[in-house]
Structure 1
């Protein structure tokens, strides 16, 4: 971490130093805390994946689609995508103590994770907006609401989420190159 002198300015910024000034062990020895956290993340992600898979199954094959079921279906799909990536990251942390060997794989998985998070939050916002419309303007909502509007909104949200996650990935790559140069 960083050390400060009595004036408050930084003495050094070294990621291999702890608060008390001792070196961190970067030799790849097992870190018990990260092992427990990765195992906990894995268990929670598998349980969440099972629950979201049940929601996907129910909404795809068992119930008739309406406006809100389209949103919930897309929300469950975004959750499944995120949870699959969380399982991959947790398994990678349990199997090896190092990061992915290829930075292109890590960048791709980071972009897909960002896509799932942005899509998830966007669909939650769309659900809230749709519910407000149905409560505040019930007559208009029943008579004038376009039939396929929820599917179009979900498609647009996925497209915008993809665009934002790709732009975020490029922006982070540019920042990383700038810090490597400087």
Structure 2
């Protein structure tokens, strides 16, 4: 039985690994270190959930309703929706990390894992769209001006979501629940190692390696082209580069340990378990980094946010003033009527 580590399935311990344990003290030390690591990761995941839900909601609100509908905003809103869905289901994973018990049923076991993988694939595909879009704008400005529309961007986003869902399908198929006494576990039952290897390699090649090479090519072309052009503002490109860099830093450790897991005989299981937990948490962290990049790097987003918050505060103050004025008038009328 092969184990998939999103969700955090740290329940799979081969018999030979237990037999090779030298002393009881070593086991206790390992359990203590694993427990400490779990506590730290739980705190980080709770932080990711809270900040991710709030931050991505803000991005969806500002880019989706307060800013002008543009192609680049379409990419950013789609990315924020993907991150928001991920953060919405992350508390179930946090509960599973703490208790090693899955009481939510088979359907949520499949859905939760699928949402997590859907976010990972859709994020990298959206970054491909963003970098490709910027590259086309620089290389073919006239064609881009004539054919680059929000409607076409929306259609491309739909295709991207369909491709992401296709790569996520194995998680829906192979996720199962099993009962061990009073404990229910959510795990991936691939039946054999070759099937597990095929799924892992497909996810890595199609969901990370090829998209990332496309992103690097686009960024290289942009870098060369921008040196020879006079661009009024580099803010959009800074946001794009920051998003790509953060995604790379967050997701490379997870994919590295997934590939190492395929060769389980030549690596210590406990090290892989710890590495996969940390890698999965880093991958999750990418979901709440994006809003900060929009705020601190994206000048248009920052200005729109300030205007929106200022107008809201002004509206609230005017409403309070009107309420107070009406209250004072009613008080005065009461005094006049009582006095009469």
TM-score using structure 1 length: 0.74
* Matches for 1:159-174 after TM superposition, within 5 Å: 159-170=162-173
Query: Hey, what does 1:120 align to over in structure 2?
Result: 123
Q: Which segment drifts farther, 106-115 or 72-81?
A: 106-115
1:133–1:115: structure 2 CA closer, same or farther, 3 Å change rule?
same
Q: Residue 46 of structure 2 contacts residue 94 of structure 2 at CA under 8 Å; is this kept in 1? A: yes
* Matches for 1:106-145 after TM superposition, within 5 Å: 106-145=109-148
1:88 aligns with 2:104: no
Cα distance in 2 for partners of 1:31, 1:20 equals 18
Instruction: Report 1 or 2 for greater relative contact order, CA contacts < 8 Å, sequence distance ≥ 6.
Output: 2
Q: Which runs of 5+ in 2 are unaligned?
A: 1-13, 177-187, 194-340
Cα distance in 1 for partners of 2:91, 2:20 equals 31
* Matches for 1:28-43 after TM superposition, within 5 Å: 31-43=35-47
1:147–1:85: structure 2 CA closer, same or farther, 3 Å change rule?
closer
TM-score using structure 2 length: 0.42
Cα distance in 1 for partners of 2:175, 2:148 equals 40
Query: Hey, what does 1:3 align to over in structure 2?
Result: none
Query: Hey, what does 2:15 align to over in structure 1?
Result: 14
| Root mean square deviation of aligned Cα | 3.0
1:99–1:148: structure 2 CA closer, same or farther, 3 Å change rule?
same
Find 1:150's aligned residue among 138, 150, 153: 153
Task: Please report how far the alpha carbon of residue 158 of structure 1 lies from its aligned counterpart in structure 2 after TM superposition.
Answer: 0.8
Aligned residues, how many? 163
- Deviating beyond 4 angstroms after TM superposition, the runs of 4 or more aligned structure 1 residues are 22-25, 171-175
Query: Hey, what does 1:59 align to over in structure 2?
Result: 63
Cα distance in 1 for partners of 2:106, 2:17 equals 21
Find 2:75's aligned residue among 71, 77, 80: 71
Highest Rg: 1 or 2?
Answer: 2
SS across alignment from 1:65:
coil
SS across alignment from 2:191:
helix
Q: Which segment drifts farther, 16-25 or 98-107?
A: 16-25
